[in-house]
Amino acid sequence: MSKSKRLMELMMAVNRKRKFTVKELAQEFGVSSRTILRDLQELSELGVPLYSEVGPHGGYQVLRERILPPIAFTEDEAVSIFFAVHALRHYASLPFESESSAALSKFYYYMSGDTRDRIDQMKNRVDFVTPERQISAPYLSILLDAAIQQKVLLIDYESRDKRTIHDIQPIGIYSRNGLWYCPAYSFHHQEVRTFRCDRMHSVAPSDMEALDLSHIHLENREVITRTDQEHIALYAELTRKGVKMYEAEPWPVLNMQTREDGSGWLEGKILTSDIPYFASFFIGLGHEVTIKEPSELLACIQSTLSELMDKYG
Amino acid sequence: MSKSKRLMELMMAVNRKRKFTVKELAQEFGVSSRTILRDLQELSELGVPLYSEVGPHGGYQVLRERILPPIAFTEDEAVSIFFAVHALRHYASLPFESESSAALSKFYYYMSGDTRDRIDQMKNRVDFVTPERQISAPYLSILLDAAIQQKVLLIDYESRDKRTIHDIQPIGIYSRNGLWYCPAYSFHHQEVRTFRCDRMHSVAPSDMEALDLSHIHLENREVITRTDQEHIALYAELTRKGVKMYEAEPWPVLNMQTREDGSGWLEGKILTSDIPYFASFFIGLGHEVTIKEPSELLACIQSTLSELMDKYG
DNA sequence: ATAATTATGACAATCCTTGTCACTATTATC
DNA sequence: GATAATAGTGACAAGGATTGTCATAATTAT
């Protein structure tokens, strides 16, 4: 193997391992230790941040930065990466250390001139918008950490009507439409609930013993948690226009089906406690929706309407 | 300069240039042409996709892929890039050739083992959700292209109530809440309007002369276009609960201010044609909002309500 | 035709690379 | 304090790789 090839592979190897010894690499590459030492010095000169310690359990390490070996990206790939990261700028809070803008400028800086030109042209023409919020969610990384390490947290939470302090065991966090949510097992409610991260006034480690929820994560939490709660079937007809309106603002739990003529219907099971929200929602759809069931929803809509008539009458 | 170092720099050089000749590089690196030829062959063997043509105006080219030189990313940077690109998977349509999943796996593949472990742990614990849509928008790249190159397009568009064919000159495209929008100058309406990309039935190049709108882009379009349209002032009081409800679903044109006690108010200028939408929206907020002006909006809410009373009464 | 370009082969001079050996220095562990 | 594991340096000779030069071919736009 030629030296240059070995250097490239060496670069990948030291990236893969966090720690390694000269002897180890010498055997792996089938060259002498002396050669590896010389190679490592050369890598060092090329910018790979190597650090070494002598003595037993000593060895080499790659510091802070990890050098990615020459990755081949197509221009399109580079462009999509750029815009994906660029879209993160809309977020007031992120669960990472948020050095993504640093990453972005590095990426941008190393791109070939004409790819950069293309990006510059596109910069003001494409965007992934997320509503800009004043609200910040400072505890994202703590929550994420707890979810990964299966730890219990004590939170001071302000819900719609009251403020309580209780223990939760986070399952994960996700952002939707600019807000961060945290599905978590609530020891107080004895079930999985979703909390708004910006409504947490404080988050601290708790002494409580964690449950084994490692098999529950963001993708499957609904399947698992939606068993022992009060659900009720919903069925509603949509006009052609109603279909379009619903498409613009769908609810994850309601499944929409369309017919050939453009009309359609909604089916799904909803939480009884969510009925008031669905009531507002369907009122917004006006004549374009006709609710068949549940009757509880119809009743709720009627009472909401008559209250509103009093207000606006 | 050692050969390995030269190869690395050569790799960067051929990335920077799109096209180059052997002689050119030979002079730049101060070696003979023969050496450069040998080096290029070696680069080729290392995976750089080089292509050459003989004859005058011939020369070397780097194909499709651009090799990024060894970029140093910190672990945090790599992680944020990963999740930013990962979030794109929610989009049914993208304006790029959508090789982002390929880019992602490359990126993932080359990362060090423990960064990969960290990502694996986080994968099911963090997400940037965008509502999944069945609707696809196949014309995104054409629209984007037209916006960049300032071209006029003839579109077959289905709006809320009718289907028309007319000329537009796109300003850009953006996605919001899972749907793609295209602000564009409409020759038919003689003003800038925003179109839903999924409602375009066809998009084709038009023969019309393009206007000079190069100074208008996504960031400034509102400032410029909001001059000669029918606007009307809106002012509404929000209760404490109303403030929280509005935060979850804000409208870009309405500015919310809060008081110390948690209550607040909304101010802004709205399009008269949008009044029906605001009516539905404020009905959804129920008792938590009190509209002061415009009276047109109040009237619209009243008529909507009485219609609904007929339906649900 | 001509000039510009890539492409390939041969060869000798030279430069670089490699392994070996000898040695030093540091440090964790017994 | 001895020992073993580790990095680090220097010297040297053998062998291998690299380089420039030259010759020559092939292709193609002008």
> Of A15, A62, A280, which is closest to B286 when you measure between CB atoms?
A280
> Of B73, B88, B114, which is closest to A68 when you measure between CB atoms?
B73
Q: Retrieve residue B11's tokens.
A: 């790799």
Buried b / exposed e over B58-71, threshold 16 CB at 10 Å, is: ebbebeebbbbbbb
Tell whether B80 is covered by a domain.
yes
Q: Which residues of A touch B70 (CB under 8 A)?
A: 11, 46-48, 67-70
Average pLDDT, chain A: 82
**Residue A61 phi, psi (nearest 5):** -140, 150
Residue of higher predicted confidence among B103 and A119? A119
- Least Cα distance to A290 among A253, A246, A251 occurs for A246
Report the pLDDT value the prediction gives residue B39, as an integer from 0 to 100.
92
- B79 and B42 in a common domain: no
Tell whether B131 is covered by a domain.
no
- Domain endpoint, select from B207, B225, B243: B225
- B200 and B148 in a common domain: yes
Residue of higher predicted confidence among A172 and A114? A172
Q: Is there contact between B70 and strand D, defined as CB under 7 Å from any strand atom?
A: no
A230, burial (CB in 10 Å: exposed 0-12, middle 13-18, buried 19+)? exposed
B35, burial (CB in 10 Å: exposed 0-12, middle 13-18, buried 19+)? middle
Report the pLDDT value the prediction gives residue A204, as an integer from 0 to 100.
92
Rounded Cα distance between B25 and B10, Å, is 8
Tell whether A292 is covered by a domain.
yes
Give how far Cα B139 sits from Cα of A192, B94, B290, Å: 41, 9, 42
What is the mean predicted confidence (pLDDT) over A161-174? 89
- A175 and A102 in a common domain: no
Tell whether A134 is covered by a domain.
no
- A144 and A206 in a common domain: yes
Count of structural domains within chain A: 4
For residue B92, give the DSSP letter: S
Report the pLDDT value the prediction gives residue A207, as an integer from 0 to 100.
87
- B297 and B244 in a common domain: yes
- A106 and A45 in a common domain: no
Output the distance from B50 CA to D17 C1' rounded to whole Å: 24
CB contact under 8 A, A217 and B308: no
Give nucleotides in strand D with any atom < 7 A to a protein C-beta.
4-11, 17-22, 26-30
**How, if at all, do strands B72-74 and A65-67 pair?**
antiparallel
Average pLDDT, chain B: 82
- B272 and B242 in a common domain: yes
Which nucleotide C1' is nearest B51 CA?
A: C6
A94-103, A124-133, A222-231, A297-306: which has the minimum mean pLDDT? A222-231
Residue B265, pLDDT above cutoff 80: yes
- Domain endpoint, select from A83, A98, A123: A123
Q: Is there contact between A226 and strand D, defined as CB under 7 Å from any strand atom?
A: no
Q: Retrieve residue B48's tokens.
A: 């750089």
Residue nearest to nucleotide D30 (CA to C1'): B56
**Residue showing tokens 């008792």:** B287
Gyration radius from chain A CA atoms: 28
- B182: domain range? 140-225
Tell whether A106 is covered by a domain.
yes
What is the mean predicted confidence (pLDDT) over A49-69? 79
CB contact under 8 A, B129 and A67: no
- For the four alpha carbons of B142, A245, A223 and A96, in that order, the dihedral sign comes to positive
Q: Which residue of A has its CA nearest to B174?
A: A127
**How, if at all, do strands B126-129 and A173-176 pair?**
parallel
Give how far Cα B130 sits from Cα of A92, A288, A295, B91, B92, Å: 17, 25, 31, 7, 10
Rounded Cα distance between B261 and B243, Å, is 11
Residue B74, pLDDT above cutoff 80: no
- A166 and A194 in a common domain: yes
Report the pLDDT value the prediction gives residue A154, as an integer from 0 to 100.
94
Which nucleotide C1' is nearest B24 CA?
A: C5
> Domain holding B146: CATH number?
2.30.30
What is the mean predicted confidence (pLDDT) over A100-108? 76
Rounded Cα distance between B303 and A167, Å, is 47
Tell whether A130 is covered by a domain.
no
What is the mean predicted confidence (pLDDT) over B151-160? 89
Report the pLDDT value the prediction gives residue A98, as an integer from 0 to 100.
61
On whether the CB atoms of residues B153 and B143 are closer than 8 A, the answer is yes
Residue A313, pLDDT above cutoff 70: no
- A207 and A151 in a common domain: yes
Tell whether B196 is covered by a domain.
yes
- B41 and B12 in a common domain: yes
CB contact under 8 A, A112 and B18: yes
Tell whether B260 is covered by a domain.
yes
On whether the CB atoms of residues B275 and B300 are closer than 8 A, the answer is yes
Cα torsion at B17, B23, B25, B29 (round to 10°)?
-160
- Domain endpoint, select from A192, A225, A258: A225
Model confidence pLDDT, tens digit, residues B194-215: 898 888 999 999 888 888 877 8
The count of other CB atoms within 10 Å of the CB of residue B215 is 7
Give the closest-approach CA distance of A267 to chain B in angstroms: 16
Which nucleotide C1' is nearest A34 CA?
A: C19
Report the pLDDT value the prediction gives residue B268, as an integer from 0 to 100.
82
A19-33, A179-193, B162-176, B280-294: which has the minimum mean pLDDT? B280-294
Give the pLDDT band of residue B64 (cuts 50, 70, 90): low
> Domain holding B277: CATH number?
3.30.70
Q: What is the end-to-end Cα distance of chain A in Å, rounded?
A: 87
Q: Which residues contact B294 (CB under 8 A, 6 or more apart)?
A: B232, B233, B234, B275
Which nucleotide C1' is nearest A1 CA?
A: D17
Q: Which residues contact A238 (CB under 8 A, 6 or more apart)?
A: A246, A256, A263, A264, A265, A266, A285, A288, A289
What is the mean predicted confidence (pLDDT) over B151-163? 87
Residue A67, pLDDT above cutoff 70: no
Helix spans in chain B (H)? 3-16, 22-29, 33-45, 75-87, 100-110, 113-123, 140-149, 221-225, 240-248, 275-285, 295-312
Q: Retrieve residue A249's tokens.
A: 């603002």
What is the mean predicted confidence (pLDDT) over B28-32? 91
Report the pLDDT value the prediction gives residue A87, as an integer from 0 to 100.
84
- B248 and B221 in a common domain: no
Reduce the DSSP state of residue B17 to 3 states and report it. coil
Q: Retrieve residue B8's tokens.
A: 């690395």
